[in-house]
Amino acid sequence: MKCDDIRILLSALVDNELDGEQKKAVSDHLVGCDGCREEYAKMRNLKEVTDDMKYFDLPDRLMAGYWNGIYNRIERSAGWIFLSIGAILLLAFGAWELLNQFFLDSRPPLILKLGVGVLLIGVIILTVSVLRERLFARAHDRYEEIEI
């Protein structure tokens, strides 16, 4: 093996990540190569320095609200699903009833039907606009593309 190949293995050797065959190949090479022996010593030194460096044990107060933050996000997403399903069912029922009991009924005056109809069109346009904005925001969610 060439020195370049061996040097990649040297890095793995200091992490004790080589199998028996690889270890033997590296050992055999090191016997006759001063450059790789020097490289190995440097890798080991770096490893020794970093092995002594550990993260501080963070104070518990830093993580005090951590779980609640996660729980709130989970709970809210579940809440939105139920809210959406409920709203769709109610709106569908309301639309059906409104059509049968109001618009198809001959008793209410035409001007009242017209007023309610125009009002509903306004509500629908606003709802679609808000939904489109929400969906657009979702399509550009900064975390949306994250692979699971």
Which residue of 49, 111, 137, 139 would you call a contact of other proteins, by CB under 8 A?
Answer: 49
Q: CA-based angle 71:135:126, to the nearest 5?
A: 110
DSSP 95: H
Please write down the long-range contacts of 27-33, taking CB distance under 8 Å and 24 or more positions apart: 29/1, 29/3, 30/6, 33/3, 33/6
Tokens for 52? 């002594």
Answer left, alpha or beta for residue 17, where phi above 0 means left and psi between -120 and 50 means alpha: alpha
Q: Which residue in the set 31, 74, 110, 139 belongs to the binding site for other proteins (CB under 8 A)?
A: 74
Indicate the angle between helix axes 34-51 and 3-14, nearest 10 degrees. 30
141 part of the interface to other proteins, by CB under 8 A: no
Is the Cα dihedral 116, 118, 121, 122 positive or negative?
A: negative
70 touches other proteins (CB under 8 A): yes
51 lies in the site for other proteins, by CB under 8 A: yes
List binders of other proteins among 76-115 (CB under 8 A): 77-78
Among 24, 37, 73, 132, binds other proteins (CB under 8 A): 73
Q: Please identify, using beta-carbon distances, which residue of 20 and 69 lies nearer to other proteins.
A: 69
Q: Which range binds other proteins by CB under 8 A, 4-12, 23-31, 85-93, 125-133?
A: 4-12
Q: Does residue 20 belong to the site contacting other proteins (CB under 8 A)?
A: no
Q: Which of 2, 19, 56, 61 binds other proteins (CB under 8 A)?
A: 56
Q: Return residues touching other proteins (CB under 8 A).
A: 7-12, 15, 17, 42-43, 45-46, 49-58, 63, 66-71, 73-75, 77-78, 142-143, 145-148
